[in-house]
Structure 1
């Protein structure tokens, strides 16, 4: 049974009939088609589907990194499409934490500097931002890497730094694209427990994953195929999720 009950407040994230088309004419690709999705405070949503189904596009639109061709994206009731560049950047720094699949760390900055950067850009002092950064790095189990540069870390360590950067401050929405992809199973489960705890404390999270056992941490699982939301279900045990995911994948191959 979902941890989220009826009588919910305003969604932290609301994708309202969102479509995204890339290219024109013969090269036109419909990445997303009329997706309606709400993620409420305290809710952890997993997004699954075959490759090319629109999962990463859904996340980039939700995070204000791209704009929909049709429909609108609202974060805490604010339509991102109506914001100027400065206001949009503020929303992304203050309200949205984004875990990129390729980490997107700045090589010239240490782990702590990478994590603290959004807070410093918001005017927090360097000392205070570093304290928050070390706390976030501790939350994902790597405080000892605070002064290490990305090139001196493994892929899994870089991934955890990227997750810490998404968690720093009072982020109301955490978006994660395959956040456990570079992690071993034990570390991956620990990171998912951190995301789950953030949601239990009142934040909202949406995670793209191919792993049913990881989706089992979520309250709700959304399935995409060919850019459409084809199914959603309350989180079940991993075995049941595997069956559902496999069924949707086979249907997509027909």
Structure 2
């Protein structure tokens, strides 16, 4: 397997440097991740695959600064998150990282546009400008009509697309997505992946967890986790579908 920076002349947006994560102690100790070394570069979409319990979601939470590694370092644009205070980490997450959660994490009392605009307002953008950006993000995903609708008045698929719009608003250099098409029909899911792909082609970096080989085929690279370890990765978007099949067969585990 190649090293994360092999053949690259630019710095990664995200670098997981020998990262490990242990939960619990003693007999209850669980190694969620073990010595993972992974870099994601500007313009690159990386898909993460693996069986249940392989550490995929843990990988995303560490990459987004929502949890801290037990060992190793997480660097975003060269900054070690472990060297920052909680306040500074939160600032990095708001300004540089867009995160799509499996359970959406929308605030029920806020409209779609207000949910999306909130991170920008927290960073000092005016309410009017933040709303313009929010509406533009909704329109990019084909749901501009939801701007003034509350989450409880949306379907699961609509909430998912609002959550994706929130992750894409502003100048997010890193987008992390945990099953971003899970609540969407196949046609809508493909359109969302096209938007994510376009953001990467424009210079952002993205990493998404997926079960679907056809979704992983949108990626430039597919990495495979098993028992918390990075066990394989493809290096070409054109070959992704074949590599997904081959590597999945080699890391079979319990279904998710």
TM-score (norm 2): 0.94
Counterpart of 1:71 in structure 2 is 72
Return the alpha-carbon distance in structure 2 between the equivalents of residues 190 and 8 of structure 1: 31
Q: Aligned pair count?
A: 249
SS of alignment partner, residue 17 of structure 1: strand
Match of 2:198 in 1: 197
Deviations 1:61-99 (A, max 9, x none): 000000000000000000001100111110000000000
| Corresponding residue SS for 1:202 | coil
2-structure distance, mates of 1:36, 1:226:
15
Q: Which SS does the other structure have where 1:67 is aligned?
A: coil
- Tell me what 1:51 maps to: 52
Backbone CA RMSD of aligned residues: 1.5
Shift of 1:204: 0.1
Partner of 2:160: 159
The match for 1:111 is 112
Deviation at 1:244, TM superposition (A): 2.0
The gaps in structure 2 that reach 5 residues or longer are none
Instruction: Give unmatched runs, 5+ long, in structure 1.
Output: none
What residue number does 1:150 align with? 151
User: Is 2:222–2:240's contact at 8 Å kept on the other side of the alignment?
Assistant: no
Distance 1:68 1:223, change over 3 A: same
**Residue 5 of structure 1: how far off its partner (Å):** 9.8
Q: Distance in 2 between matches of 1:70 and 1:145?
A: 43
Residue 247 of structure 1 corresponds to: 249
What's 1:124 paired with? 125
Which stretch shows the higher mean deviation, 17-26 or 235-244? 235-244
TM-score, length-normalised on structure 1? 0.95
Match of 1:21 in 2: 22
State the distance in 1 between where 2:99 and 2:244 align.
26
Contact 2:177-2:207 within 8 A present in 1 as well? yes
